[in-house]
Structure 1
Amino acid sequence: MLDAVASEETSTEARAQQIPAGDSAAVELQQLVARIASGDQLAFGDFYDRLAPRVFAIVRRVLVDPSQSEEVTQEIFVELWQSAPRYAPNKGGVTTWVMTIAHRRAVDRVRASQASRDRDLRVGIRDHTIDYDSVSETAELRLENQRVKKALAKLTDLQKEAVTLAYYGGYSHSEVSELLGVPLGTVKTRIRDGMIRLRDEMGVAS
């Protein structure tokens, strides 16, 4: 009987050791978000410590200015605290969710800081004739974006995470590796497999 229990414990430990480090970290982040959603401040502190350097790196890449980047990083984590109850694990990994919010917030800050200049520019071009070719091109791009979103939904969470950072965030493979905390070879594999799946889903010839 004791031998059977010992064997079962050994088997359980072996299975735990076989869980990829990236997958284990993803599960831990999801557990933290669930605790944050219930108002757990200690979980939020752990969550902040794990992801703040990556968030700051993304924001700094967009804004460049260190002080603005720090300010926006704090705003992002306030938003994450508030939106944790709405996080849906079936729609993507925690890291993708966080990085998407971070990139959006950084871009919003750039747009806000440029708003006054844009306002003056709009006054100068108020009577400019509408470029119908540009309107048509924009409509086509929107349709293409819808196709891409549908194709992305067919990827695994890990593939989607890597592809999104590389092709929407503009990060190199090594930067994606650093942001996700996984080996470079793993990142390359996820991106390669994800792009193959996207190509097949969208019917693009190789």
Structure 2
Amino acid sequence: MAERAEDDATLVARAASGSEHAFRTLYRAYVRPVYWLAHGLVGDPSDAEDVTQETFMAAWRRLPELELESDSLLPWLATICRFQAANRIRRQRRDREHTAAAADESLPATVDVEHQVATTLLVDRILDAVRGLSPLDQQIFRLCAAEGYAYQAAADELGVSHGVVRNRLSRIRTHVRAATGTEGA
């Protein structure tokens, strides 16, 4: 890594205040190590590029709340990169499973129409309950309940703390159970 005129803490403070030049300097300094970490995690150059970009986008959003605890920004970026890579791998796995399920065109021997109708009605009630939530709560529900994100991964994606996601998701689940009449479920 080439020597920079300013240390990471100074650049982080300037970037957090909105300096695109400072953030660009940090990006140039760390894009290669982040890319190679992403490549090692996802194993594909194209996915590694995407994970690298997602890492820096998440970093840009989270810089104002960062308190740099070392001389280097790299450990923090590596943590974000690991979460972004895990999210990508999870999405790809889910997509493959859905694609495989869609390719299987065989129907079960018997179809329980009553069960399908009850399930459809429950899903509709859940969606109605979720529509009544705040935009942040809707995003938390989508990420954690629908897409399977872990609390910290969802927190990183939304730029909030782990505790915010955990507490709000608990309240969301209670709200949805009450709205759908499934409190005992």
| TM-score bucket of the superposed structures, by smaller chain | 0.3 to 0.5
Which one has a larger percent helix, Structure 1 or Structure 2? 1
